[in-house]
Amino acid sequence: MKLVETFPITDFKKYSNIVVVKIDKSIHSDKYRYKPLVSFTATVLENIKGDLNEGISFSGKPKKEQARAVCPVHLIENGKYLLLLTNESGAYVISRFSLPVISDNKYFSNYISQIKDAVKNE
């Protein structure tokens, strides 16, 4: 999905945590052509929603779901990302449909502002 000026997600109630992170480690599978994410470890740079406060390191994994023409999540080590996470059975889970955004995306700062405003009004 191509990202545009307005973040495509407008309802954030289903996400337990929304954070800006630095990816410390990411493991992708070589079994499949698209090299889907297997797991990741990240450090929180900014907490927008949830219990993952700044400076906390945590591990996460991708949600098992049907692709429906959306590519699997790829996270680059040392990259800075905006992540929308759910907590499933005590694990932080990222969905391909939560649209992780890397900081070099031209709309990155706008998305953070839009999400903060939306979360404030939930």
Model confidence pLDDT, tens digit, residues 38-62: 999 999 999 999 999 999 999 999 9
Q: What domains sit in the chain, N to C, each tagged with a CATH number?
A: 17-120 (2.40.50.120)
**pLDDT, position 4:** 82
**pLDDT, position 90:** 87
**pLDDT, position 67:** 64
pLDDT band at 66 (very low <50, low <70, confident <90, very high): confident
**Among the ranges given (11-15, 27-31, 92-96), the one the predictor scored with the smallest mean pLDDT:** 27-31
Which residues have C-beta within 8 Å of that of residue 71, sequence separation ≥ 6? 34, 96
CA distance linking residue 43 with residue 82, whole number of Å: 12
Which residues have C-beta within 8 Å of that of residue 22, sequence separation ≥ 6? 42, 43, 45, 78, 79, 80
Res 2 pLDDT > 70: no
User: How many whole angstroms from its chain centre is CA 98?
Assistant: 6
